[in-house]
Structure 1
Amino acid sequence: MNLRVKVKLLRPRLLSNVFRFASTTPEIVERNEQVLIDDTDAAQVREAEIERKRNISRLTQAHFNIINGRMPYDEPKCLAHLTVKYHRKMYGKYGAQSGVDPSLCWPTKQDIEDRKEYESVAFPYTIQQMMETAAQNRKEAQQKIEQREKEVEAKFVKLEQWKKELNDKIEKKARDIQAAKEKKERLVEEVRRHFGFKLDPRDERFQEMLAKREKEQKKAEKQARRDAKEKMIIGKLQQKSVEMSDGKS
Protein backbone atom coordinates (compact mmCIF):
# COMPACT_ATOMS: atom_id res chain seq x y z
CA MET A 1 0.00 0.00 0.00
CA ASN A 2 1.52 3.27 -1.02
CA LEU A 3 1.67 6.51 1.00
CA ARG A 4 -1.25 8.19 -0.75
CA VAL A 5 -3.58 5.31 0.14
CA LYS A 6 -2.49 5.48 3.80
CA VAL A 7 -3.29 9.18 3.94
CA LYS A 8 -6.71 8.63 2.50
CA LEU A 9 -7.42 5.94 5.08
CA LEU A 10 -6.29 8.10 8.04
CA ARG A 11 -8.15 11.24 6.99
CA PRO A 12 -11.64 10.26 8.35
CA ARG A 13 -10.13 9.34 11.78
CA LEU A 14 -8.15 12.59 11.94
CA LEU A 15 -11.18 14.62 11.11
CA SER A 16 -13.26 12.88 13.75
CA ASN A 17 -10.58 13.57 16.37
CA VAL A 18 -10.50 17.23 15.43
CA PHE A 19 -14.27 17.54 15.76
CA ARG A 20 -14.23 15.70 19.08
CA PHE A 21 -11.63 17.97 20.63
CA ALA A 22 -13.27 21.06 19.14
CA SER A 23 -16.59 20.22 20.85
CA THR A 24 -14.98 19.97 24.33
CA THR A 25 -12.69 23.06 24.13
CA PRO A 26 -15.32 25.69 25.37
CA GLU A 27 -16.11 23.56 28.43
CA ILE A 28 -12.42 23.40 29.35
CA VAL A 29 -12.02 27.17 28.97
CA GLU A 30 -15.12 27.79 31.09
CA ARG A 31 -13.83 25.52 33.82
CA ASN A 32 -10.45 27.25 33.73
CA GLU A 33 -12.10 30.69 34.05
CA GLN A 34 -14.19 29.42 36.96
CA VAL A 35 -11.08 28.14 38.68
CA LEU A 36 -9.33 31.48 38.16
CA ILE A 37 -12.33 33.39 39.58
CA ASP A 38 -12.54 31.06 42.58
CA ASP A 39 -8.83 31.55 43.21
CA THR A 40 -9.25 35.36 43.03
CA ASP A 41 -12.13 35.34 45.55
CA ALA A 42 -10.19 33.09 47.88
CA ALA A 43 -7.19 35.40 47.61
CA GLN A 44 -9.33 38.40 48.43
CA VAL A 45 -10.84 36.64 51.42
CA ARG A 46 -7.37 35.71 52.62
CA GLU A 47 -6.15 39.29 52.20
CA ALA A 48 -9.17 40.61 54.14
CA GLU A 49 -8.54 38.11 56.95
CA ILE A 50 -4.86 39.03 57.06
CA GLU A 51 -5.75 42.73 57.18
CA ARG A 52 -8.22 42.06 60.01
CA LYS A 53 -5.63 40.19 62.04
CA ARG A 54 -3.04 42.86 61.30
CA ASN A 55 -5.27 45.49 62.97
CA ILE A 56 -4.34 45.16 66.66
CA SER A 57 -5.60 48.61 67.68
CA ARG A 58 -8.92 47.17 68.98
CA LEU A 59 -10.69 50.18 67.53
CA THR A 60 -14.14 49.90 66.08
CA GLN A 61 -14.37 49.84 62.33
CA ALA A 62 -15.77 53.36 62.29
CA HIS A 63 -12.93 54.76 64.40
CA PHE A 64 -10.37 52.83 62.40
CA ASN A 65 -11.73 54.32 59.19
CA ILE A 66 -11.63 57.86 60.63
CA ILE A 67 -8.01 57.50 61.71
CA ASN A 68 -7.06 56.26 58.25
CA GLY A 69 -8.84 59.12 56.49
CA ARG A 70 -11.87 57.18 55.33
CA MET A 71 -15.57 57.63 55.92
CA PRO A 72 -16.62 56.05 59.22
CA TYR A 73 -19.56 54.14 57.76
CA ASP A 74 -20.15 52.64 54.34
CA GLU A 75 -23.90 52.66 54.87
CA PRO A 76 -26.26 54.54 57.25
CA LYS A 77 -26.40 53.23 60.81
CA CYS A 78 -29.02 55.58 62.28
CA LEU A 79 -31.52 58.24 61.24
CA ALA A 80 -28.94 61.02 61.71
CA HIS A 81 -26.91 59.53 58.84
CA LEU A 82 -29.82 60.22 56.51
CA THR A 83 -29.99 63.96 57.20
CA VAL A 84 -28.79 66.67 54.86
CA LYS A 85 -26.55 68.09 57.58
CA TYR A 86 -24.66 64.79 57.92
CA HIS A 87 -24.23 64.45 54.15
CA ARG A 88 -22.90 68.01 53.92
CA LYS A 89 -20.45 67.27 56.71
CA MET A 90 -19.22 64.11 54.99
CA TYR A 91 -18.77 65.87 51.66
CA GLY A 92 -16.94 68.76 53.33
CA LYS A 93 -14.53 66.35 55.00
CA TYR A 94 -14.06 63.57 52.44
CA GLY A 95 -15.05 65.28 49.18
CA ALA A 96 -16.07 63.12 46.21
CA GLN A 97 -14.89 60.02 48.10
CA SER A 98 -17.99 60.34 50.29
CA GLY A 99 -20.26 59.66 47.33
CA VAL A 100 -22.53 62.56 48.32
CA ASP A 101 -24.23 64.67 45.70
CA PRO A 102 -22.51 68.10 45.86
CA SER A 103 -25.81 69.86 45.14
CA LEU A 104 -26.86 69.09 48.73
CA CYS A 105 -24.24 71.57 49.95
CA TRP A 106 -26.16 74.52 48.49
CA PRO A 107 -29.11 75.89 50.50
CA THR A 108 -32.59 75.54 49.13
CA LYS A 109 -34.88 78.48 48.44
CA GLN A 110 -36.71 77.79 51.68
CA ASP A 111 -33.43 77.77 53.61
CA ILE A 112 -32.53 81.14 52.10
CA GLU A 113 -35.92 82.62 53.00
CA ASP A 114 -35.69 81.28 56.55
CA ARG A 115 -32.20 82.75 56.94
CA LYS A 116 -33.36 86.13 55.65
CA GLU A 117 -36.25 86.13 58.10
CA TYR A 118 -33.95 85.21 60.99
CA GLU A 119 -31.44 87.93 60.13
CA SER A 120 -34.21 90.52 59.78
CA VAL A 121 -35.28 89.75 63.37
CA ALA A 122 -31.85 89.12 64.93
CA PHE A 123 -30.07 91.98 63.13
CA PRO A 124 -32.73 94.62 62.32
CA TYR A 125 -30.21 97.41 61.78
CA THR A 126 -27.89 98.03 58.89
CA ILE A 127 -24.11 98.11 59.27
CA GLN A 128 -24.11 101.91 59.01
CA GLN A 129 -26.74 102.19 61.76
CA MET A 130 -24.80 99.81 64.01
CA MET A 131 -21.61 101.81 63.43
CA GLU A 132 -23.41 105.04 64.34
CA THR A 133 -24.89 103.44 67.46
CA ALA A 134 -21.49 102.11 68.53
CA ALA A 135 -19.92 105.55 68.01
CA GLN A 136 -22.69 107.17 70.06
CA ASN A 137 -22.22 104.62 72.85
CA ARG A 138 -18.47 105.29 72.90
CA LYS A 139 -19.11 109.02 73.04
CA GLU A 140 -21.56 108.67 75.94
CA ALA A 141 -19.16 106.37 77.81
CA GLN A 142 -16.34 108.90 77.37
CA GLN A 143 -18.60 111.68 78.62
CA LYS A 144 -19.45 109.65 81.72
CA ILE A 145 -15.76 109.05 82.38
CA GLU A 146 -14.97 112.76 82.03
CA GLN A 147 -17.90 113.69 84.28
CA ARG A 148 -16.74 111.20 86.89
CA GLU A 149 -13.19 112.57 86.74
CA LYS A 150 -14.53 116.11 87.28
CA GLU A 151 -16.56 114.97 90.28
CA VAL A 152 -13.55 113.20 91.78
CA GLU A 153 -11.40 116.29 91.23
CA ALA A 154 -14.01 118.54 92.85
CA LYS A 155 -14.32 116.20 95.82
CA PHE A 156 -10.57 116.02 96.15
CA VAL A 157 -10.50 119.82 96.45
CA LYS A 158 -13.05 119.58 99.29
CA LEU A 159 -11.16 116.76 100.99
CA GLU A 160 -9.48 119.01 103.55
CA GLN A 161 -12.78 120.66 104.39
CA TRP A 162 -14.46 117.30 104.89
CA LYS A 163 -11.60 116.09 107.06
CA LYS A 164 -11.97 119.20 109.23
CA GLU A 165 -15.75 118.70 109.49
CA LEU A 166 -15.24 115.05 110.42
CA ASN A 167 -12.72 115.94 113.10
CA ASP A 168 -15.10 118.60 114.43
CA LYS A 169 -17.90 116.01 114.63
CA ILE A 170 -15.64 113.58 116.43
CA GLU A 171 -14.55 116.25 118.89
CA LYS A 172 -18.15 117.39 119.44
CA LYS A 173 -19.25 113.83 120.09
CA ALA A 174 -16.40 113.38 122.56
CA ARG A 175 -17.40 116.63 124.31
CA ASP A 176 -21.03 115.52 124.45
CA ILE A 177 -20.01 112.18 125.97
CA GLN A 178 -17.83 113.93 128.52
CA ALA A 179 -20.58 116.42 129.34
CA ALA A 180 -23.09 113.59 129.80
CA LYS A 181 -20.64 111.78 132.04
CA GLU A 182 -20.06 114.89 134.15
CA LYS A 183 -23.78 115.52 134.32
CA LYS A 184 -24.33 111.98 135.55
CA GLU A 185 -21.65 112.41 138.17
CA ARG A 186 -23.21 115.69 139.40
CA LEU A 187 -26.62 114.03 139.74
CA VAL A 188 -25.11 111.16 141.68
CA GLU A 189 -23.37 113.64 143.97
CA GLU A 190 -26.60 115.57 144.51
CA VAL A 191 -28.43 112.37 145.42
CA ARG A 192 -25.72 111.49 147.92
CA ARG A 193 -25.95 114.93 149.53
CA HIS A 194 -29.73 114.52 149.65
CA PHE A 195 -29.45 111.40 151.83
CA GLY A 196 -26.67 112.90 153.93
CA PHE A 197 -24.76 109.65 154.23
CA LYS A 198 -22.85 107.28 151.98
CA LEU A 199 -25.22 105.05 150.04
CA ASP A 200 -24.49 102.32 147.51
CA PRO A 201 -25.47 103.55 144.00
CA ARG A 202 -27.04 100.15 143.38
CA ASP A 203 -29.46 100.66 146.25
CA GLU A 204 -33.11 100.89 145.23
CA ARG A 205 -33.66 104.21 147.08
CA PHE A 206 -30.62 105.65 145.38
CA GLN A 207 -31.86 104.57 141.95
CA GLU A 208 -35.33 106.02 142.55
CA MET A 209 -33.97 109.38 143.68
CA LEU A 210 -31.54 109.42 140.74
CA ALA A 211 -34.33 108.76 138.25
CA LYS A 212 -36.41 111.52 139.85
CA ARG A 213 -33.56 114.05 139.62
CA GLU A 214 -32.87 113.09 135.98
CA LYS A 215 -36.53 113.61 135.15
CA GLU A 216 -36.54 117.01 136.84
CA GLN A 217 -33.38 118.02 135.07
CA LYS A 218 -34.73 116.99 131.64
CA LYS A 219 -37.88 118.95 132.33
CA ALA A 220 -35.85 122.01 133.31
CA GLU A 221 -33.68 121.75 130.19
CA LYS A 222 -36.74 121.39 128.00
CA GLN A 223 -38.30 124.48 129.59
CA ALA A 224 -35.07 126.37 129.12
CA ARG A 225 -34.99 125.52 125.42
CA ARG A 226 -38.62 126.56 125.09
CA ASP A 227 -37.95 129.89 126.81
CA ALA A 228 -34.93 130.49 124.58
CA LYS A 229 -37.00 129.78 121.49
CA GLU A 230 -39.74 132.14 122.64
CA LYS A 231 -37.20 134.89 123.31
CA MET A 232 -35.74 134.41 119.85
CA ILE A 233 -39.17 134.63 118.20
CA ILE A 234 -40.05 137.72 120.24
CA GLY A 235 -36.76 139.30 119.28
CA LYS A 236 -37.38 138.66 115.58
CA LEU A 237 -40.90 140.11 115.81
CA GLN A 238 -39.59 143.20 117.58
CA GLN A 239 -36.89 143.66 114.96
CA LYS A 240 -39.40 143.26 112.18
CA SER A 241 -41.77 145.80 113.73
CA VAL A 242 -38.90 148.25 114.10
CA GLU A 243 -37.98 147.80 110.45
CA MET A 244 -41.60 148.35 109.40
CA SER A 245 -41.89 151.50 111.49
CA ASP A 246 -38.63 152.82 110.01
CA GLY A 247 -39.96 152.09 106.56
CA LYS A 248 -43.14 154.07 107.12
CA SER A 249 -41.29 157.04 108.48
Structure 2
Amino acid sequence: MGALIRKEVLTVTIKTATTTMAAALYLLVRREHSLLNISTCHVLISKIFGKALSVASTETNLESSQPENKPKVEDEIANIRNVSNLPQRLRAKLSHVNEMPDLNDDKIQNNTRILRKIYAKYGKSSGIDPRIMWPLRSELKVIKEDERDWDPTFQDLVDKMKQKKLAEQKEKKEREERVAKNMAMMPKWIAEYHKREAAKQLAQNEQEKKKQKLLDEARDYYGYSITPQDPKFRQMIEEKALEEKKAKKAMKKQQKTERAQAFLQKQLEQKAKEEEEEEEEEEEKKNK
Protein backbone atom coordinates (compact mmCIF):
# COMPACT_ATOMS: atom_id res chain seq x y z
CA MET A 1 0.00 0.00 0.00
CA GLY A 2 2.80 2.39 0.92
CA ALA A 3 4.64 1.59 -2.29
CA LEU A 4 1.51 2.33 -4.30
CA ILE A 5 1.02 5.68 -2.60
CA ARG A 6 4.66 6.62 -3.21
CA LYS A 7 4.25 5.61 -6.87
CA GLU A 8 1.18 7.81 -7.30
CA VAL A 9 2.82 10.76 -5.62
CA LEU A 10 5.97 10.32 -7.72
CA THR A 11 3.94 10.00 -10.93
CA VAL A 12 1.96 13.16 -10.18
CA THR A 13 5.15 15.03 -9.35
CA ILE A 14 6.88 13.93 -12.56
CA LYS A 15 3.81 14.76 -14.65
CA THR A 16 3.57 18.21 -13.09
CA ALA A 17 7.27 18.89 -13.62
CA THR A 18 7.19 17.51 -17.16
CA THR A 19 4.12 19.56 -18.07
CA THR A 20 5.85 22.68 -16.83
CA MET A 21 8.97 21.84 -18.83
CA ALA A 22 6.93 21.15 -21.97
CA ALA A 23 5.07 24.45 -21.63
CA ALA A 24 8.32 26.31 -21.13
CA LEU A 25 9.82 24.63 -24.19
CA TYR A 26 6.75 25.51 -26.30
CA LEU A 27 6.87 29.15 -25.22
CA LEU A 28 10.60 29.31 -25.90
CA VAL A 29 10.14 27.96 -29.42
CA ARG A 30 7.29 30.40 -30.15
CA ARG A 31 9.15 33.36 -28.74
CA GLU A 32 12.44 32.77 -30.56
CA HIS A 33 10.73 31.94 -33.90
CA SER A 34 12.77 28.76 -34.22
CA LEU A 35 12.70 26.62 -37.35
CA LEU A 36 10.88 23.95 -35.37
CA ASN A 37 7.21 23.81 -36.31
CA ILE A 38 4.34 23.03 -33.93
CA SER A 39 4.22 19.32 -34.83
CA THR A 40 7.92 18.93 -34.05
CA CYS A 41 7.38 20.68 -30.71
CA HIS A 42 4.57 18.24 -29.86
CA VAL A 43 6.86 15.33 -30.72
CA LEU A 44 9.50 16.67 -28.31
CA ILE A 45 6.90 17.10 -25.58
CA SER A 46 5.67 13.53 -26.13
CA LYS A 47 9.22 12.22 -25.79
CA ILE A 48 9.67 14.12 -22.53
CA PHE A 49 6.40 12.64 -21.16
CA GLY A 50 7.49 9.17 -22.27
CA LYS A 51 10.89 9.47 -20.58
CA ALA A 52 9.34 10.70 -17.34
CA LEU A 53 6.78 7.88 -17.27
CA SER A 54 9.51 5.36 -18.05
CA VAL A 55 11.59 6.60 -15.10
CA ALA A 56 8.53 6.47 -12.81
CA SER A 57 7.72 2.93 -13.96
CA THR A 58 11.34 1.79 -13.41
CA GLU A 59 11.46 3.25 -9.91
CA THR A 60 8.13 1.60 -9.03
CA ASN A 61 9.32 -1.78 -10.31
CA LEU A 62 12.58 -1.46 -8.42
CA GLU A 63 10.81 -0.54 -5.17
CA SER A 64 8.52 -3.56 -5.47
CA SER A 65 11.47 -6.00 -5.86
CA GLN A 66 12.64 -8.38 -3.16
CA PRO A 67 14.05 -6.98 0.14
CA GLU A 68 17.39 -8.78 -0.23
CA ASN A 69 18.06 -6.84 -3.47
CA LYS A 70 17.25 -3.48 -1.90
CA PRO A 71 20.87 -2.14 -1.84
CA LYS A 72 21.25 -3.07 -5.51
CA VAL A 73 17.92 -1.49 -6.31
CA GLU A 74 18.90 1.74 -4.54
CA ASP A 75 22.15 1.83 -6.49
CA GLU A 76 20.26 1.45 -9.77
CA ILE A 77 17.86 4.21 -8.75
CA ALA A 78 20.81 6.44 -7.87
CA ASN A 79 22.41 5.75 -11.26
CA ILE A 80 19.15 6.62 -13.07
CA ARG A 81 18.79 9.85 -11.09
CA ASN A 82 22.44 10.83 -11.72
CA VAL A 83 21.73 12.78 -14.90
CA SER A 84 24.97 14.75 -14.49
CA ASN A 85 27.07 11.61 -15.04
CA LEU A 86 29.63 12.95 -12.61
CA PRO A 87 31.98 10.54 -10.78
CA GLN A 88 30.85 9.62 -7.31
CA ARG A 89 33.69 11.52 -5.61
CA LEU A 90 32.56 14.72 -7.36
CA ARG A 91 28.83 14.12 -7.15
CA ALA A 92 29.09 13.58 -3.40
CA LYS A 93 30.18 17.23 -3.05
CA LEU A 94 26.95 18.57 -4.55
CA SER A 95 24.72 20.31 -2.01
CA HIS A 96 21.61 18.21 -2.76
CA VAL A 97 23.60 14.93 -2.48
CA ASN A 98 25.78 15.78 0.52
CA GLU A 99 27.29 12.32 0.88
CA MET A 100 30.20 11.87 3.25
CA PRO A 101 33.39 10.80 1.44
CA ASP A 102 34.95 7.39 1.98
CA LEU A 103 37.25 7.58 4.99
CA ASN A 104 39.15 4.47 3.88
CA ASP A 105 40.77 6.46 1.11
CA ASP A 106 44.50 6.85 1.78
CA LYS A 107 44.47 10.46 0.58
CA ILE A 108 41.86 11.27 3.23
CA GLN A 109 43.31 9.20 6.08
CA ASN A 110 46.74 10.82 5.73
CA ASN A 111 45.43 14.37 5.42
CA THR A 112 44.57 15.98 8.76
CA ARG A 113 43.16 19.08 7.10
CA ILE A 114 40.56 17.09 5.11
CA LEU A 115 39.59 15.01 8.15
CA ARG A 116 38.99 18.20 10.13
CA LYS A 117 36.78 19.55 7.35
CA ILE A 118 34.76 16.34 7.28
CA TYR A 119 34.25 16.38 11.06
CA ALA A 120 33.31 20.07 10.97
CA LYS A 121 30.66 19.30 8.34
CA TYR A 122 29.22 15.98 9.56
CA GLY A 123 30.08 16.01 13.27
CA LYS A 124 29.87 12.78 15.28
CA SER A 125 28.10 10.97 12.44
CA SER A 126 31.41 10.99 10.52
CA GLY A 127 32.92 8.57 13.05
CA ILE A 128 36.14 10.62 13.26
CA ASP A 129 37.87 11.07 16.60
CA PRO A 130 37.07 14.66 17.67
CA ARG A 131 40.56 15.01 19.14
CA ILE A 132 41.81 15.51 15.61
CA MET A 133 40.36 19.04 15.75
CA TRP A 134 42.92 19.99 18.39
CA PRO A 135 46.25 21.22 16.92
CA LEU A 136 49.33 18.99 17.08
CA ARG A 137 52.33 19.88 19.23
CA SER A 138 54.22 21.24 16.23
CA GLU A 139 51.17 23.26 15.10
CA LEU A 140 50.57 24.50 18.63
CA LYS A 141 54.18 25.66 18.82
CA VAL A 142 53.79 27.65 15.57
CA ILE A 143 50.50 29.14 16.81
CA LYS A 144 52.11 30.25 20.08
CA GLU A 145 55.01 31.83 18.19
CA ASP A 146 52.59 33.69 15.93
CA GLU A 147 50.59 34.90 18.92
CA ARG A 148 53.78 36.06 20.61
CA ASP A 149 54.79 37.99 17.48
CA TRP A 150 51.39 39.49 16.62
CA ASP A 151 49.82 39.77 20.07
CA PRO A 152 52.63 40.24 22.62
CA THR A 153 51.93 40.61 26.34
CA PHE A 154 52.24 43.88 28.21
CA GLN A 155 55.49 42.75 29.81
CA ASP A 156 56.92 41.91 26.39
CA LEU A 157 56.00 45.39 25.17
CA VAL A 158 57.66 46.97 28.24
CA ASP A 159 60.83 44.89 27.77
CA LYS A 160 60.93 45.76 24.08
CA MET A 161 60.55 49.46 24.87
CA LYS A 162 63.37 49.27 27.44
CA GLN A 163 65.66 47.54 24.96
CA LYS A 164 64.85 50.15 22.33
CA LYS A 165 65.58 52.96 24.78
CA LEU A 166 68.89 51.40 25.86
CA ALA A 167 69.89 50.95 22.23
CA GLU A 168 69.10 54.61 21.48
CA GLN A 169 71.11 55.77 24.51
CA LYS A 170 74.06 53.58 23.49
CA GLU A 171 73.94 54.91 19.93
CA LYS A 172 73.77 58.49 21.21
CA LYS A 173 76.74 57.94 23.52
CA GLU A 174 78.82 56.38 20.75
CA ARG A 175 77.96 59.27 18.42
CA GLU A 176 78.98 61.84 21.05
CA GLU A 177 82.26 60.01 21.68
CA ARG A 178 82.95 59.86 17.96
CA VAL A 179 82.24 63.58 17.57
CA ALA A 180 84.50 64.44 20.53
CA LYS A 181 87.30 62.30 19.11
CA ASN A 182 86.95 63.89 15.68
CA MET A 183 86.94 67.37 17.18
CA ALA A 184 90.17 66.56 19.02
CA MET A 185 91.72 65.43 15.73
CA MET A 186 90.42 68.50 13.89
CA PRO A 187 93.59 70.70 14.26
CA LYS A 188 95.79 67.88 12.97
CA TRP A 189 93.49 67.25 10.00
CA ILE A 190 93.38 70.97 9.19
CA ALA A 191 97.17 71.17 9.27
CA GLU A 192 97.44 68.12 7.00
CA TYR A 193 94.93 69.67 4.62
CA HIS A 194 96.88 72.91 4.40
CA LYS A 195 100.08 70.90 3.90
CA ARG A 196 98.53 68.98 1.02
CA GLU A 197 97.20 72.17 -0.52
CA ALA A 198 100.61 73.81 -0.24
CA ALA A 199 102.29 70.80 -1.86
CA LYS A 200 99.68 70.84 -4.62
CA GLN A 201 100.23 74.56 -5.19
CA LEU A 202 104.00 74.08 -5.21
CA ALA A 203 103.70 71.30 -7.79
CA GLN A 204 101.45 73.50 -9.87
CA ASN A 205 103.90 76.39 -9.70
CA GLU A 206 106.75 74.08 -10.70
CA GLN A 207 104.70 72.89 -13.63
CA GLU A 208 103.98 76.45 -14.68
CA LYS A 209 107.67 77.35 -14.39
CA LYS A 210 108.66 74.31 -16.44
CA LYS A 211 106.08 75.20 -19.06
CA GLN A 212 107.25 78.82 -19.21
CA LYS A 213 110.85 77.64 -19.48
CA LEU A 214 109.91 75.47 -22.44
CA LEU A 215 108.13 78.39 -24.07
CA ASP A 216 111.22 80.55 -23.60
CA GLU A 217 113.40 77.83 -25.09
CA ALA A 218 111.01 77.47 -28.04
CA ARG A 219 111.12 81.26 -28.60
CA ASP A 220 114.92 81.23 -28.55
CA TYR A 221 114.98 78.21 -30.87
CA TYR A 222 112.48 79.47 -33.45
CA GLY A 223 113.14 83.19 -33.02
CA TYR A 224 109.56 84.12 -32.21
CA SER A 225 106.95 83.39 -29.52
CA ILE A 226 104.69 80.39 -29.98
CA THR A 227 101.69 79.06 -28.07
CA PRO A 228 101.52 75.68 -26.31
CA GLN A 229 98.95 74.58 -28.92
CA ASP A 230 101.38 75.09 -31.76
CA PRO A 231 102.51 71.79 -33.39
CA LYS A 232 106.07 73.10 -33.38
CA PHE A 233 105.94 73.44 -29.61
CA ARG A 234 104.70 69.87 -29.27
CA GLN A 235 107.42 68.68 -31.65
CA MET A 236 110.05 70.46 -29.59
CA ILE A 237 108.71 68.89 -26.39
CA GLU A 238 108.87 65.45 -27.97
CA GLU A 239 112.43 66.01 -29.14
CA LYS A 240 113.38 67.31 -25.71
CA ALA A 241 111.72 64.33 -24.03
CA LEU A 242 113.64 62.01 -26.37
CA GLU A 243 116.88 63.76 -25.51
CA GLU A 244 116.16 63.54 -21.82
CA LYS A 245 115.40 59.85 -22.24
CA LYS A 246 118.70 59.31 -24.02
CA ALA A 247 120.49 61.32 -21.35
CA LYS A 248 118.89 59.23 -18.60
CA LYS A 249 119.79 56.05 -20.43
CA ALA A 250 123.39 57.21 -20.81
CA MET A 251 123.50 58.21 -17.16
CA LYS A 252 122.19 54.79 -16.10
CA LYS A 253 124.75 53.11 -18.30
CA GLN A 254 127.51 55.25 -16.81
CA GLN A 255 126.33 54.52 -13.30
CA LYS A 256 126.24 50.81 -14.11
CA THR A 257 129.77 51.00 -15.47
CA GLU A 258 130.96 52.88 -12.39
CA ARG A 259 129.32 50.32 -10.11
CA ALA A 260 130.97 47.51 -12.07
CA GLN A 261 134.36 49.23 -11.84
CA ALA A 262 133.90 49.83 -8.14
CA PHE A 263 132.95 46.20 -7.61
CA LEU A 264 135.96 45.06 -9.63
CA GLN A 265 138.24 47.40 -7.71
CA LYS A 266 136.86 46.06 -4.47
CA GLN A 267 137.46 42.48 -5.61
CA LEU A 268 141.04 43.31 -6.60
CA GLU A 269 141.68 44.97 -3.27
CA GLN A 270 140.18 42.00 -1.46
CA LYS A 271 142.36 39.59 -3.45
CA ALA A 272 145.47 41.69 -2.83
CA LYS A 273 144.69 41.75 0.87
CA GLU A 274 144.29 37.99 0.94
CA GLU A 275 147.60 37.48 -0.89
CA GLU A 276 149.31 39.83 1.56
CA GLU A 277 147.90 37.89 4.52
CA GLU A 278 149.07 34.62 2.98
CA GLU A 279 152.61 36.04 2.55
CA GLU A 280 152.66 37.19 6.16
CA GLU A 281 151.62 33.76 7.33
CA GLU A 282 154.38 32.11 5.26
CA GLU A 283 156.97 34.48 6.69
CA GLU A 284 155.81 33.71 10.21
CA LYS A 285 156.15 29.99 9.51
CA LYS A 286 159.68 30.49 8.16
CA ASN A 287 160.68 32.52 11.19
CA LYS A 288 159.47 29.80 13.50
Please report the TM-score for the alignment, with normalisation by the length of structure 2.
Answer: 0.35
- Greater relative contact order (Cα < 8 A, sep 6+): 2
Please report the TM-score for the alignment, with normalisation by the length of structure 1.
Answer: 0.39
